[in-house]
Amino acid sequence: MKRILFISLISFFTLTLVSGSDKVNSDGEKGENKVIYLNKDTFKELVFNYETNKEWKYNGNVPAILDFYADWCGPCRQVAPILDQLQKEYDGKIQVFKVNTDKEKELASVFGIRSLPTIVFIPLNGEPQAAMGFRPKADMEKMVTEILKVNK
């Protein structure tokens, strides 16, 4: 009985955290125009449930940029402020997601991440496309326009 109650409480809190229109950033702040840091569960909810879907199906309602990074990675630290700027400048037209590969080893393994940063551009329709390594802001904006089909 205690186990069922515990599982029910965990399910309730998990649904509370990932549902609704409010998005939560790494600092726990809510807002519509924030970079979202993902763990395995929020990844499956907001991006792609790789456990139940065999073919790619993006769960979002705006195109996305997915950054696989690590805190120790120099190029990752260089690209982070660019991604923050893009999130703000595109004002709800795209969503930037980040996955810390040191904390989310399963996600990194499932998606074959071997180079950091790996930045994945996810259009609403079609297949995602990845870019490895640091990219200057102008290159990132070009990829947003060409791959995600989004203009400022």
Residues involved in catalysis: 73, 76
Burial bucket for residue 24 (CB in 10 Å: 0-12, 13-18, 19+): middle
Tokens of 93: 């037209």
Query: Distance between CA atoms of 20 and 92, rounded to whole angstroms?
Result: 16
Q: How would you classify the pairing of strands 118-122 and 64-69?
A: antiparallel
Q: What are the angstrom distances between the C-alpha of 37 and each of 5, 6, 23, 54?
A: 29, 26, 10, 24
Q: What are the angstrom distances between the C-alpha of 102 and each of 35, 68, 113, 114?
A: 18, 10, 11, 12
